[in-house]
Amino acid sequence: SARIAVLASGRGSNLQAVLDAIAAGRLDAQVVGVFSDKPDAAALQRVAAPLRWSARPRDFASRSDYEQALGDAIAATAPDWILCAGYMRILGAGIVQRFAGRMINIHPSLLPRHKGLHTHQQAIDAGDAEHGASVHLVTAELDAGAVIAQSRVPVLPGDDAAVLAERVLAIEHPLLVACLQLLCSGRLAEQDGKLQLDGHTLFSPLTL
């Protein structure tokens, strides 16, 4: 089964959705490590202690030293896929290149709209009628890699960022699992920066 390394900084509900899908037999994969920039991240507690790795970036001489150590720890688990699930640091070109075509991220907006942080407030401020989440390939440019799939939710009158975040999170979990099902079964893969589904180039994101 496919080996998945997960990078997470916080709560880890997306990681939990992946673990639950594996446990239920809905995803033929194993989580081989959880990697965090926050030693107290709740996400780490969702897997057995031997699978946890964390280090504070500020304990390294440079960002590239931190990312070298992170990359070495990830590589040691021989992952097929590297999943960023609420990993809240921008990854440098070095580590992105090292895992090129194998690293994906779940982002809480309908990319290319609302890159970066505070995406729910961004959607409200923009007056969007629709919002959602995207799973995309990680490239050196922030939140700009090819989008694999998206799911949509309405923005409702009176929504604040917290309410909207909760509505989006509920669709993130099945979206992420569905993408991993495609990736881990080998139906979906990257070739020369383009996504191929069943051997055909994917010209626009899947809607899930």
- Residue set of the binding site: 12-14, 63, 88-91, 105
Give the separation between CA 151 and CA 186, rounded to whole angstroms.
22
Shortest reach from residue 107's CB to ligand GAR, in Å: 5
Identified binder of ligand GAR from the candidate list 33, 71, 79, 86, rule CB under 6 A: 86
Taking the CA atoms of residue 197, residue 199, residue 202 and residue 208 in that order, the dihedral angle to the nearest 10 degrees is: -10
Told to check if 12 binds ligand GAR by CB under 6 A, we report: yes
Give the separation between CA 199 and CA 190, rounded to whole angstroms.
10
Told to check if 83 binds ligand GAR by CB under 6 A, we report: no
Identified binder of ligand GAR from the candidate list 106, 137, 171, 180, rule CB under 6 A: 106
Nearer to ligand GAR, 72 or 166 (CB): 166
Told to check if 172 binds ligand GAR by CB under 6 A, we report: yes
Nearest to 7 by CA among 64, 59, 55: 55
Single-letter amino acid, residue 181: Q
Q: Which of residues 47-76 bind ligand GAR (CB under 6 A)?
A: none
Give the separation between CA 151 and CA 176, rounded to whole angstroms.
10
Nearest 5°: the CA angle 137, 142, 146 is 30
Tell me the per-residue interface mask from 139 to 168 with ligand GAR, x by CB under 6 A, - otherwise.
Answer: ------------------------------
Give the separation between CA 98 and CA 100, rounded to whole angstroms.
6
Nearer to ligand GAR, 7 or 32 (CB): 7
Helices (H) and strands (E) in the chain, counts: 5, 11
Identified binder of ligand GAR from the candidate list 38, 46, 98, 107, rule CB under 6 A: 107
* Listed ranges 24-32, 72-80, 85-93, 185-193: which one lies at the site for ligand GAR (CB under 6 A): 85-93
And the tokens for 44? 């780490």
Applying CB under 6 A, which residues contact ligand GAR? 8, 10-14, 43, 85-86, 88, 106-108, 133, 169, 172
